[in-house]
Amino acid sequence: MKIPRIVIAGTHSGCGKTTIASGIMGALAARKMIVQPFKIGPDFIDPSHHTRICHRHSRNLDPFMMGEDGVTDTFTRACEGADIAVIEGVMGLYDGVDGSDLASTAHVARLLQAPVILVVDAHGMSRSAHALLKGFSEFDPTIPLAGVIFNKLGSDRHKRMIESSLPVPSFGWIQKREDITVASRHLGLFMAHESGSMSDAGKVIEEYCDLDAIIVTSKSAPDLQITAEPKTGSSVRTTIGVAMDPAFCFYYQDNFDRLRSCGANLVFFSPIADRLPDVDAVYLGGGYPELHLPELESSPCTTGLKNAVDRGMPVYAECGGLIYLTGEITAEKTYRMCGVLPAQSEMTKKIQALGYVLGKSVGTGSYLSPVRNISGHEFHYSRVIPDRDARYAFRLSRGKGIDDGKDGLLTLNAIGSYTHTYFSKKFADLFVDAAVNFQE
């Protein structure tokens, strides 16, 4: 497979790699190139900006959740029809799981044999940048560090202080700009639909970076020898409703692909504004339900979901979707929610869990009981208080879940989990089969 590709890595979180990666995507798109965006790691928010800029769904590349073969398969499938792939890294270039290389930006760059451009926050340093770059370029000789983009420069003089005798080529010098940064909140940056501040990032790249050199570097990536999963088509067997609005917007695009490949027609709807559509199952992702509690309390969908679950409809809910299915959510005030799961929820000021998750089904008779292994990620500022006799679908070997490693709160055919699950084919098959059985 021949696809020009580049990884935009950072020295650390907060150095500006999201802005610069998004700007490069925007600048390439402005040249009428078809850009396929990617995000390394389990993040949902950065891909929303990529997707809006490139008009192609950004994909997560995460060896921990997907396995190495899963990374190369997703990359291969997503790049079909694209002119170039731009891959935004996670954290610092070499930061992986538990201080290892696993699932680091370097790990993915090595898998995809993609040249790396390092983003360096130059604030408060000059010649020390040379020492930093020497360390990054020599730390792992298997990582092809193609060059650097300096960010947050103070002035032209600041640039002149750094640019002589650089150990790697420079692709750009960007002075500090407040107008192209995205504000943060407790789960990360604001989503793309909430912020237009990335709209000028492409123009900044054109002005301050050598985009032609970046394109040439992307073309230096060698052909990939990949054995991808064969494409499988499936006739539509059932319809699954997917919650998609400002309250529920955290999804892995691969999960949608897996459900469709197993025979699901996906219908997107807003629990804030819509009634529950005529579907055979519901998938509720994470997001920010705590910002829309009055609207959710009064929404006809809230009552409709309870009635549907009582009739046996399968529902799978993650994080924000989980707390929406409980009896109520307390966030300064208390708001009535679906009342599907035997628990109450409360928002907290401190983070309750953050990290990768591994688990197994505990065989409690749910439609997901045959799933042997699950993998995913958890990140939340809420707490679920289950009833004493609550049942769970999953037992975690890694991660906190709802209650000391127990996750997947279970009622009838409704399962609510703090884990943002990366669907395996088996997982997707079972969910679709449950929808088909309910339909029949």
Span 292-348, pLDDT tens digits: 999 999 999 999 999 999 999 999 999 999 999 999 999 999 999 999 999 999 999
Euclidean distance between CA atoms 422 and 74, whole angstroms = 13
Euclidean distance between CA atoms 20 and 162, whole angstroms = 20
The alpha carbon dihedral of 144, 118, 250, 366 has a sign of: positive
- Percentage of the residues of the chain whose pLDDT score is greater than 90: 88
Q: Which fold would CATH assign to domain 238-439?
A: Rossmann fold (3.40.50)
CB–CB of 247/320 below 8 Å? yes
φ/ψ of residue 175, rounded to 5: -75, 160
* pLDDT in the model for residue 440: 87
């009838």: which residue's tokens? 412
* pLDDT in the model for residue 231: 61
* Two domains, one topology: 5-218 and 238-439: yes
Contacts of 182 (CB under 8 A, 6+ apart): 18, 19, 49, 189, 190, 195, 197, 198
Euclidean distance between CA atoms 13 and 24, whole angstroms = 18
Which residue numbers in the chain have pLDDT < 70? Answer: 178-199, 227-233
Catalytic residues: 319
> Of 399, 392, 386, 400, which is closest to residue 369 (Cα–Cα)?
392
How is the chain split into domains, by residue range?
5-218, 238-439
């170039």: which residue's tokens? 84
CA–CA distances in Å: residue 204 to residues 31, 34, 190, 414: 14, 19, 20, 48
What is the crossing angle of helices 17-30 and 45-54, to 10°? Answer: 10
* pLDDT in the model for residue 182: 53
* CATH class of the domain defined by 5-218: alpha beta
